[in-house]
Chains A and B, each alone.
Chain A
Amino acid sequence: MVRYLCISEKPTAAKRIAAALDETGKARKIPTPRTFASVPVYECKNNGDIIYVIPALGHLYSTVEDSIKGWHYPTFNYKWVPTYLAQQKNNTRPFILAFKNFSEKVDEIIIATDYDLEGEVIGASIAKFACKKELNSVRRMKFSTLTKKEILESYKNMHPSIDLNLAQAGFTRHEIDWLYGINLTRALTLAIKHATGRYKLISTGRVQGPTLKFVADREREIQTFVPIPRWAIEATIILDGEEIALEYQEKFIPTLAEAEQIVRETTDTEGIVSKITERQFSQKPPLPFNLGTLQSEAYRYFGYSPSRTLKIAERLYLNALISYPRTGSQQFSETINHKQILKELTKSELYRDRAEKLLQKTTLKPTKGKKKDPAHPPIHPTGKKAPAALRTEDKNIYRLITCRYLALFGEPAVKKSLRLDINFNGYIFFLRGMKVLKKGWLELYAPFGKVEEIELPELKKGDTVKMLKVRKKQSYTQPPARYNPNSLLKKMEEEELGTKATRANIIDILYSRGYIEDESIYATDLGFAVIDTLEKNSPEIIETELTRHLERNMEKIRSGEKTRVEVLMEAIRELKNILENFHKKEEIIGVTLQEQVQNLKQRQRILGPCPICKQGELIITRSRTTQKRFVGCTGYYKKLCDWSAPIPQQGYATPAKKNCPHCGFPMLTIRKRGKRPYTICPNWLKCPGTPQEVLDNYQNQKAEALEAIGEDEEDEL
């Protein structure tokens, strides 16, 4: 009899693994000492052996500075310690105690965490630090789904040792991230402190900096954008009593004179159908989902942010409904039994018809893309029936994954496009139609991938039609779109910044640091201040090349081309150079950064010109005596204007960059954590737009009353 300790990544996964490994299917949760009573420890019996399955709680070990010098940089000394010591979070202590305790009672250790960089580090650090085992003596279970079948197979075929290269790459990534993060953050923060004596924590990191630069660069493009005017020609004809819109052959006309000429010369004319073009084309089934494409489609259909989609997918994985989601793969291996999965899907009413249809095929060959991931297949359903009690968001993502999986086996869709050209006095207008001739995979992917069919009127070459209306419509070239969480994630992927597992988290960090805001992402003034200063003085920190090079090195550790020490030493050398250069310019960086922060603070206070005195500017300021916030005119200092008004004391007030439609006063926006931002007029006490009942109800005329009537910012977007 062999006794095993099986390290799982999370409590939910531990429960599932234990249930799968136990011969009876009901692993016993055993009583544990008071010191780790909160940790579920499962005892499973399998073929005469005993397996204790214990979960971690994500990372139980982390890096901290190993120095007594205090807050300084550069610092290259670190050590691995329990996270409850590194982050002062005590909830992981019982888990470490459980692993320590049971490691003494067993013969072998098995790591059964997720098979990826993070999973390997979680398992390896527990085996090394808590269980005091040599990593090459630790066994490894590798699986891509938490189904009983796959867990049992991975147990039977467990690897004699962990993937040492993967573990080394994981440890190195943590260490390099820590080294870059701590040194760069301290360098920036101390630059301000040394130059101005003020403390303002400014953080950055290896991936954070370049990602923030994408947003800042885009924002600069938008803010300095000057559009060019252009004109579109809008026309309608009438056929069988129905008005039909026509498109002009050129989408936009660059000059007003030309647009006017087209309108003049086609008004009230008769057109002849001059050409009918028909094109038939087929559209191949989509590629299998990897994390990036799943996040992209989830955003498209449900508006879920990438991090939200990842969380949902992880929940579905832990419930054994889908395969491991943190995968980049677009290719299934031959070992996956698609027939079995489809058979299982026939048990669900929603997918029965489609799955049965596919099962009739002689061969089941899913589409495949270029991206490979040797560790995990593309995201796919396991076939296990989804419980009815799933949350709506989980249901949505599960349905998307399942429909996509079914679509992979479909036939190409065949579509027909039609274009009907009509010549009005030498000017060509046209109608465009579209028809799906064969649904193919579209039927399997439904309700997703819906195509709108456009029917064309029955006209043949030589037929005449009368122009009903024709007019020119002025428009402008448009600035580039702001990133949203999804497009920013894609940009990071394109630029090879971060990994599939960390990208969504980096975006969340930028939000939480206050460097970026909103769904349509813009760089905040603080974000700009950091990027502006670094661009001028230490551009390498925010260049994509540096971090991309490190990512490649980590891949090399994984493939055995480089050792951990080589990569670590190289990273330290580069960091040392950056910090030395930074140190030389520390004073100027500190002063500039502080100035930027101050300038931006100043800019954030100015609402716009004062409509009363027309000389000063309305600014958000505070009373020296009461410290209360209000809006006043800068003309007050020159004794030109004494206009002032109270505003809400709570929330973050910034200029709304627009004027009140009722009284013309420049407005301000109030943002409160957890609430939608709203826009108010500072002249609310006298503004005709303020409802009387608000003034009546709030006899004390507290500015907080405005929250009730503030224009909802998001509704305006």
Chain B
Amino acid sequence: MKQCVICKATIEKGTLCEAHAIAKTHLEEKYQEWKRAFGKLTKKEYYQKLVDDSNIPIGDWAREVAEYFLKEENKKR
């Protein structure tokens, strides 16, 4: 049985449960707007901001995905 890499919920396919998959889509969609707002912003910086700044009104599920992606980005280096 597969599990969501973030919340360990049982899933049929992919790596994320439905809730975290929706959050992932939102994160990816909004990245372009963040890049435009700041002029220049890498994905890692984007995730870092979302994870570190508690004043950002990001949803819990979206923040969990950002945390996961940030870990993945850090592993790459």
Footprint of B on A, CB under 8 Å?
A: 220, 222-230, 254-257, 476, 478-479, 532, 595, 599, 602-603, 657-658
Contact = CB atoms under 8 A, between A and B. Distances in A.
B58 A226 contact: yes
28 contacts: A220-B19, A222-B59, A223-B61, A224-B19, A224-B61, A225-B26, A225-B58, A226-B26, A226-B27, A226-B58, A228-B34, A228-B37, A229-B34, A254-B37, A255-B36, A255-B37, A255-B38, A257-B39, A476-B56, A476-B57, A478-B57, A595-B10, A602-B7, A602-B8, A603-B7, A603-B8, A657-B60, A658-B54
B2 interface: no
B34 to A, nearest CB: 7
B9 to A, nearest CB: 4
Contacts of B29: 226
B70 interface: no
B23 A599 contact: no
A256 B19 contact: no
A159 to B, nearest CB: 56
A532 B58 CA distance: 22
A532 B11 CA distance: 13
Interface string B5-47: 0011110000000110011001101100110111100000000
Contact of A224 (B23, B34, B38, B57): B23
A599 B37 contact: no
Nearest to B10: A595
B7 A599 contact: yes
Nearest to A222: B59
B56 A223 contact: no
Nearest to B38: A256
B57 A254 contact: no
Contacts of A230: 37
B62 A226 contact: yes
Contacts of B59: 222-226, 479
B39 A603 contact: no
A254 B10 contact: no
Nearest to B64: A223
A479 B36 contact: no
Contacts of B10: 595, 599
B8 to A, nearest CB: 6
A23 to B, nearest CB: 68
Nearest to B21: A224
B34 A223 contact: no
Contacts of B50: 226
Nearest to B49: A229
B30 A226 contact: yes
Contacts of B8: 599, 602-603
Closest 3 CB pairs of A and B: A223-B59, A599-B9, A224-B23
A602 B7 CA distance: 9
Contacts of A476: 56-57
Contacts of A595: 9-10
A208 B54 CA distance: 35
Nearest to B30: A226
B22 A227 contact: no
Contacts of B54: 658
B71 to A, nearest CB: 10
Contacts of A223: 19, 23, 59-62
Given A220-B19, A476-B56, A225 B62 contact: yes
A256 B58 contact: no
Given A220-B22, A599-B8, A602-B8, A225 B36 contact: no
A614 to B, nearest CB: 12
Given A226-B23, A226-B26, A256-B37, 14 more contacts: A220-B19, A222-B59, A223-B19, A224-B26, A225-B59, A226-B50, A228-B37, A229-B38, A256-B38, A479-B59, A595-B9, A599-B8, A599-B9, A603-B8
